[in-house]
Amino acid sequence: MESTPDLLGDARPDAHELARMVSTALHREVAVARWVVERVPYEAGSPATAALLRVRGCTTDGEDWSLFLKVLQHPRHWSGLDRVPPQLRAEFTDSFPWRAELAAWNPEFLRALPEGLRVPRLYRPVELPADRVALWMEDIAVGDQTWSVPRFARAAGLLGQLAANRCDAELLASCGVPVGFGVRKYVDGPVTGVLFALRDRALWLHPSLNTQLGRQVRGDLLELAVRIPSILDLLDGLPQALPHGDASPQNLLVPRDEPDSLVAIDIAFQCPLAVGSDLAQLLVGLVHAGEMPARALPEIHAALAPAFTAGFTAGGGSVRLDEVRAAEIGNLVVRSAFTSIPFDRLDRVPAAEIASRLELSRFIVELAGDLPL
């Protein structure tokens, strides 16, 4: 693992700025003796993520400290921009909400967080050249608790309360973008790129795809692609709220010293989305990361919508269970059914992982059959 201040580039703080942030983190005035910078070993998929770094060191009186640094970027800098069809790239880069994560520290968002859900402390945001932003924040010490079904249900309930606190019509209107803007832009970008791969017969001759399951999934997804416009219309017609936007388990941290709470990071898609949309990423995030098998999904899926609905009701909102399920499944289709298969990395991803992704897509296709289209 690299360990050098040079990784910071133009995000490097001067000695006074660093000492001030460390003092804030430790709740007392300190001086910094030594420090190093390390890359965080996590493969971020967002076009807005330029760097994930951990800065840690020791004070002059011997106390260890650690800060987390995330650098946001305009999507024109994204290394995966070639996945977006050339004819759509300009619109994608112009409209992608790469600064959406800053909403996590807006007073409105902070007031909406239910008890048991918080965001990291933000020590210092820094505007950088070339449309980039450095976010110096609390480094959450994560416990080793596994994501059991009760933990998934707990997270769903908290996300339901968050949505209930952010479904006011005036708040939704203040976003300045129409209902469904986020998912439609996602379809126009990454999903449209994947549709080209689906239609490429030569690509599907790859040994990891040219299997009975692979051929079945390809046919299923080609049929499902025809239903995308109807699914988007269905999502638009459901009750709306402002969501977390990317509520995978990886973005709901379990603090070591607060195991019954969650810390929300990587806020995204801050535009009106169907109530229950957050459940899609909550369900599949660990499968995407290769940390959970696709066969675990049915039991978790069964627990999510009831828990979310109960949380939404506890937050003072009103939504039907079938509406929440439709929002979850619709977003699963749009955000994961097509993009889960790593077409651009087939020779670098183990065959077993690709098979798991195919099983995930197949699971979502089966769920899509329950949508009231």
pLDDT at 156 over 60: yes
Rounded distance between C-alpha atoms, residue 281 and residue 340, angstroms: 12
Segments of the chain assigned E as strands: 32-39, 49-59, 64-73, 117-118, 122-128, 132-138, 240-241, 252-253, 262-264, 273-274
Contacts by residues 166-172 (CB-CB < 8 Å, ≥ 24 positions apart) = 166/108, 166/109, 166/112, 166/241, 166/242, 166/243, 167/239, 167/240, 167/241, 167/242, 167/275, 167/317, 171/108, 171/242, 172/240, 172/241, 172/242, 172/272
Where do the structural domains in the chain lie, given as residue ranges? 1-82+121-139, 140-368
Exposed/middle/buried for 363, CB within 10 Å: 0-12, 13-18, 19+?
buried
Tell me what pLDDT residue 295 has.
92
Tell me what pLDDT residue 193 has.
84
pLDDT at 3 over 70: no
Rounded distance between C-alpha atoms, residue 81 and residue 65, angstroms: 36
Position 166: which residue type?
R
Token code pair at residue 264: 């929300």
Confidence of residue 4 (pLDDT cuts 50, 70, 90): low
| Alpha-carbon distances of 347 from 63, 91, 214, 341, 354, rounded to whole Å | 46, 30, 16, 12, 10
Tell me what pLDDT residue 97 has.
84
- Evaluate whether 160 touches 166 at the Cβ level (below 8 Å): no
Rounded distance between C-alpha atoms, residue 166 and residue 243, angstroms: 8
| Alpha-carbon distances of 182 from 162, 270, 319, 327, rounded to whole Å | 18, 8, 21, 14
Q: For residue 80, which of 345, 281, 358, 350 has the smallest C-alpha distance?
A: 345
- Evaluate whether 2 touches 39 at the Cβ level (below 8 Å): yes
pLDDT digits (tens, 9 = 90+) for 285-322: 999 888 999 999 999 999 999 999 999 999 999 999 99
Residue with tokens 């999510």: 304
Q: What percent of the chain has pLDDT over 90?
A: 81
Rounded distance between C-alpha atoms, residue 268 and residue 188, angstroms: 17
Exposed/middle/buried for 367, CB within 10 Å: 0-12, 13-18, 19+?
buried
Please, what is the average pLDDT of the chain?
A: 93
Q: What is the mean pLDDT of residues 346-355?
A: 92
Rounded distance between C-alpha atoms, residue 215 and residue 204, angstroms: 8
- Evaluate whether 278 touches 159 at the Cβ level (below 8 Å): yes
Rounded distance between C-alpha atoms, residue 5 and residue 65, angstroms: 15
Domain 140-368: give its CATH code: 3.90.1200
Contacts of 304 (CB under 8 A, 6+ apart): 152, 153, 156, 279, 282, 283, 328
Position 338: which residue type?
F
pLDDT digits (tens, 9 = 90+) for 94-110: 888 899 899 999 999 99
Q: What's the whole-model pTM score?
A: 0.93
Contacts of 351 (CB under 8 A, 6+ apart): 207, 208
Confidence of residue 1 (pLDDT cuts 50, 70, 90): very low
pLDDT digits (tens, 9 = 90+) for 32-88: 999 999 999 877 778 899 999 999 999 999 999 999 999 999 999 998 888 777 888
Q: Strands 64-73 and 132-138: what pairing?
A: antiparallel
Which residues sit opposite 65 in a β-bridge?
Answer: 57
